[in-house]
Structure 1
Amino acid sequence: MAGLGIAEAPTFLLADAIESGALEPLLLDYPTPDYGIYVVRPPGANVPGKVRVLIDTLVERFGGEPHWDRCLMKVNARSRSP
Structure 2
Amino acid sequence: MSWTEVRNDERIVEWERSDGHATLRLRRGPNGWHVRYDRLHQSPEGRGYESRRFDDEDAARATLDEWKDEYDVDEP
Q: Taking structure 1 as the reference length, what is the TM-score of the superposition?
A: 0.25
Greater relative CO, 1 or 2 (CA 8 Å, sep 6+): 1
- Structure whose residues are more often helix by fraction: 1
- Larger radius of gyration between Structure 1 and Structure 2: 1
